């Protein structure tokens, strides 16, 4: 019988997944296998894998001869070798639409926190101060410009919410026609012009070879000294050393980061001692509703393949000529 393994997870409960596979009469075996060798050893007869953070390499695929489908908890699939998956005739699925509201809200929460210096003032009160002047200057938000790097589903929801605060929204996305942006009241701008012009830059692009460190020294130098950077997408989009230097030198005013290059954050990370950085622990995706939706859809991606159906959220569509799915 085909068996599904969870490579690793940090959720307190797997009840949702267990119920989905129980109803489909498919065995589900959770593990905490993080490395290549652990996954190969502990999941050797897997026909399906559910993956959270583990890197799923070609070596793993080559050593799991029964593997038909890999399902990622969440949106990004940068931890799965898609080219190798297609080569080995393995479907890769994700859950691209479970936390649009949550991530867009978190991005705006970080914008508001950084702009109004909420966390900074909260901490100053705990340090014995009661003085708004410590946060000066704070400018009126309405009328300023928000630049969205990427214009997918989450960024579009950010645009709608930001416009309600009176922000002018601009965006750069090489894969989206400017007309689609204009239809939502968003102005297209080339990437470097977006960085120069906007008061807030918010990142909403997947992590690829092209977008790795897309915010580095050169890009930060283009930004206004009063600008803030928001990242709720992927940590490695930002060169953290370059960002730390830019913040130290007041080349930009602040940053709101839900994701980092290395997670969890290391105790010696300089961001921890910076009062112009707001940090949250990769929580943007989370609500109780989003958690349930993600787990259900991640499970269904595998169940669909086992039932001979093309999965709803197939990522590597190039695999279709090589698999018998309808």
226-263: pLDDT as tens digits = 999 999 999 999 999 999 999 999 999 999 999 999 99
Rounded to whole angstroms, the Cα distance separating 99 from 284 reads: 8
258 in the same domain as 113: yes
121 in the same domain as 237: yes
Rounded to whole angstroms, the Cα distance separating 275 from 91 reads: 45
79 in the same domain as 60: yes
209 in the same domain as 136: yes
282 catalytic per annotation: yes
132 in the same domain as 218: yes
Domain end residue (candidates: 245, 260, 279): 279
Of the candidates 89, 116, 282, 293, the residue annotated as catalytic is 282
Rounded to whole angstroms, the Cα distance separating 7 from 38 reads: 9
The owner of tokens 């793993």 is 60
136 in the same domain as 50: no
Of the candidates 234, 240, 251, 304, the residue annotated as catalytic is 234
CB 225 within 8 A of CB 255: no
Which phi and psi angles does 270 have, rounded to 5°?
A: -60, -25
Measured CA to CA in angstroms, residue 287 lies from 159, 182, 264, 290, 306 at distances of 21, 31, 20, 5, 29
> And the tokens for 15?
């009840």
Range of the domain at 179: 100-279
Domain count, the chain: 2
108 in the same domain as 30: no
Which of 22, 30, 23 is CA-nearest to residue 51? 30
269 in the same domain as 194: yes
142 catalytic per annotation: no
Read off the DSSP letter of residue 265.
Answer: P
The domain spanning residue 35 has which CATH number?
3.40.50.720
Of the candidates 22, 263, 289, 309, the residue annotated as catalytic is 263
Q: Which pLDDT does position 1 carry in this prediction?
A: 81
Measured CA to CA in angstroms, residue 221 lies from 171, 192, 218, 245, 249 at distances of 19, 10, 5, 11, 11
191 in the same domain as 138: yes
198 in the same domain as 304: no
254 in the same domain as 204: yes
170 in the same domain as 212: yes
Chunk the chain into consecutive blocks of 10 residues (it has 326) and report each block's average pLDDT, rounded to whole numbers. 96 98 98 98 98 98 98 96 98 97 98 98 98 98 98 98 98 98 98 98 96 98 98 98 98 98 97 98 98 98 98 98 96
CB-based contacts of 37, cutoff 8 Å, min separation 6? none
234 catalytic per annotation: yes
């Amino acid at each position: 019988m085909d068996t599904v393994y969870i490579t690793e997870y940090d959720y307190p409960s797997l009840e949702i997944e267990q119920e989905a596979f129980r109803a489909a009469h498919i065995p589900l075996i959770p593990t905490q296998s993080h490395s290549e060798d652990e996954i190969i050893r502990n999941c050797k007869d897997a026909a399906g894998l559910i993956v959270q953070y583990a890197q799923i390499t070609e070596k793993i695929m080559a050593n799991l001869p029964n593997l038909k489908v890999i399902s990622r908890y969440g949106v990004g699939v940068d931890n799965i070798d898609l080219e190798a998956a297609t080569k080995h005739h393995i479907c890769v699925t994700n859950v691209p639409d479970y936390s649009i509201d949550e991530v867009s809200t978190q991005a705006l929460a970080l914008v508001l926190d950084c702009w109004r210096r909420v966390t900074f003032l909260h901490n100053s009160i705990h340090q014995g101060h009661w003085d708004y002047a410590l946060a000066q200057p704070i400018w009126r938000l309405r009328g300023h410009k928000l630049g969205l790097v990427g214009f997918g589903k989450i960024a579009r929801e950010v645009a709608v919410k930001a416009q309600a605060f009176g922000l002018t929204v601009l965006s750069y996305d090489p894969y989206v026609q400017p007309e689609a942006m204009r239809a939502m009241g968003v102005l297209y701008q080339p990437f470097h012009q977006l960085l120069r012009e906007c008061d807030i830059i918010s990142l909403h692009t997947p992590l690829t070879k092209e977008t790795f460190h897309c915010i580095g020294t050169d890009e930060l130098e283009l930004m206004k000294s009063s600008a803030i950077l928001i990242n709720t997408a992927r940590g490695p989009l930002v060169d953290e050393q370059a960002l730390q230097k830019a913040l130290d030198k007041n080349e930009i005013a602040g940053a709101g980061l839900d994701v980092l290059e290395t997670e969890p954050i290391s105790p010696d990370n300089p961001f921890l001692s910076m009062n112009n950085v707001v940090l949250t622990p990769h929580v943007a995706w989370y609500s109780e509703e989003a958690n349930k939706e993600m787990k259900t859809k991640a499970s269904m991606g595998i169940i669909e393949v086992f039932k001979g159906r093309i999965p709803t959220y197939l990522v590597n569509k190039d695999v279709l000529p090589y698999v018998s799915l309808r």
